[in-house]
A and B are shown apart, each in its own frame.
Chain A
């Protein structure tokens, strides 16, 4: 049911995200740490790709490179065929913490991107109201982040990114710090959102169950230095719901990832 590819095939089909031999080394106090080595990966438009790996394997570094926060030392990083040179609104980033601006209300947070780029029109304001409705925060549009619960803050961060119409969503363990119930709610919310919009998503997690539930494919990274160990197809039916986690097919897929991870 799942195909393991030891070396991801280099193809020429159009990719939303293309990584070729990406490497990154950190130098701190004369000690070199190789975080990533020779990572290659193609992500198709509209695909939901999960990156899993042991902690410290460089999956967050890979995401930071895609986001444009840190440059790669070697290799090629292309998003929509263009090399990544810095952060940009076409790549929406969701962090482990919601990183809302605490001095702005929920609505002002959502409008931050359009305002900063000077494209704040009445239509954008209307769209923001619609997005707040979608993420269930209409009543909290004028509340400040500290007045929201953990899950609400994450949904506000979602709306803040979605108003930019990103081509790719980069998510770095976004639900890692949430309690189990809220996390399940956020996973359901993300699945429904992706089902409707089909944005390309790169989702970093260390939770194998989460990766199995969300991803079309799961890329397993090895421990430091991070390398692609395997890319596993998750051939579970879509749309998926949280109830699918109890099916045999799901458990089998999950075990498969865990086996590769523990090799």
Chain B
């Protein structure tokens, strides 16, 4: 049988080229960060006041010191401990919020009554800044962990719900039809085609929600907490410890980058088109 020889992307040769491209991207990205640090350093020398604008070396020294030493010295925690406290709150709140958002979004996509019931509620809740609810959550749950976890849930839930609903709605009907006419049951199709096809969109929603979760947790720790990176930054600010403020911000940046990186890995695993 003669075959149609149309040109496709040759899969074999894409490997090394892709690797070269990703190494290049890494180098350029590192150069960007380096340039930002150089800019910071120049600004610090121009300002010439360590309280307003500490140099990079000073900040790095403080960061290194407080990674292992508590601040404030009495009853304080190290940067690592504060980082872990914040991370724990994020993980708990993000986990619960994501799970609830997935269930709610899927239920809205699948059951018309639930969609009509929940749609206006989610629509009203979404533009509300979660931070506005901190005092209320403190009244309800106290200043312990529960109020922080609840706050993060609160910020994550609408984002993941809308992402899940949107991703499920966007799955073309033909994909389900194809699955059914290939002999799959409607349950198998629901699980392996409709839900599976929505996974990349859901993960993208989770990435957006993760950014919001960090915003909320730092704000909550600044208002009512006795630990966490937000609490540390506020303390450092009260005593004009500018290098420590920068250190706290750096810790948040690193943690945020790591979590986003993990979600990006998840996206790559779930979506072959994201592997570039």
| Interface positions of A (Cβ within 8 A of B) | 67-69, 86-89, 91-93, 95, 97, 99, 101-103, 112-113, 116-117, 134-136, 139-140, 142-144, 146-152, 155, 160-161, 164, 181-182, 185-186, 188-189, 192-193, 196
CB distance from B203 to the nearest CB of A (A): 12
How many residues on chain B are close to A (CB under 8 Å)?
Answer: 33
Neighbour of B177 across the interface among A87, A142, A152, CB < 8 A? A87
When C-beta atoms are compared, the residue in chain B nearest to A185 turns out to be: B4
Docked Cα-Cα span, A182 to B5, in Å, equals 9
**Is B185's CB under 8 angstroms from A68's CB?**
no
Docked Cα-Cα span, A97 to B177, in Å, equals 12
**Is B8's CB under 8 angstroms from A148's CB?**
yes
CB distance from B188 to the nearest CB of A (A): 5
When C-beta atoms are compared, the residue in chain A nearest to B273 turns out to be: A146
A136-B3, A152-B8, A182-B4 known; A144-B181 Cβ under 8 A: no
Chain B residues contacting A69 (CB-CB under 8 Å) are 177, 180-181
Interface readout for B132-174 with A: 1 if CB under 8 Å, 0 if not?
0000000000000000000000000000000000000000101
**Is A88's CB under 8 angstroms from B183's CB?**
yes
A69-B177, A149-B7 known; A116-B1 Cβ under 8 A: no
Docked Cα-Cα span, A102 to B196, in Å, equals 10
Chain B residues contacting A91 (CB-CB under 8 Å) are 181
Chain B residues contacting A143 (CB-CB under 8 Å) are 8, 11
Q: Which of B13-49 contact A (CB under 8 A)?
A: 14
**Is A113's CB under 8 angstroms from B196's CB?**
no
When C-beta atoms are compared, the residue in chain B nearest to A95 turns out to be: B174
List 19 additional contacts besides A86-B180, A102-B272, A116-B185; criterion CB under 8 Å. A68-B181, A87-B177, A88-B183, A93-B181, A101-B175, A101-B197, A103-B197, A112-B182, A113-B183, A113-B184, A116-B184, A147-B8, A148-B9, A149-B8, A149-B9, A152-B8, A160-B182, A186-B4, A192-B1
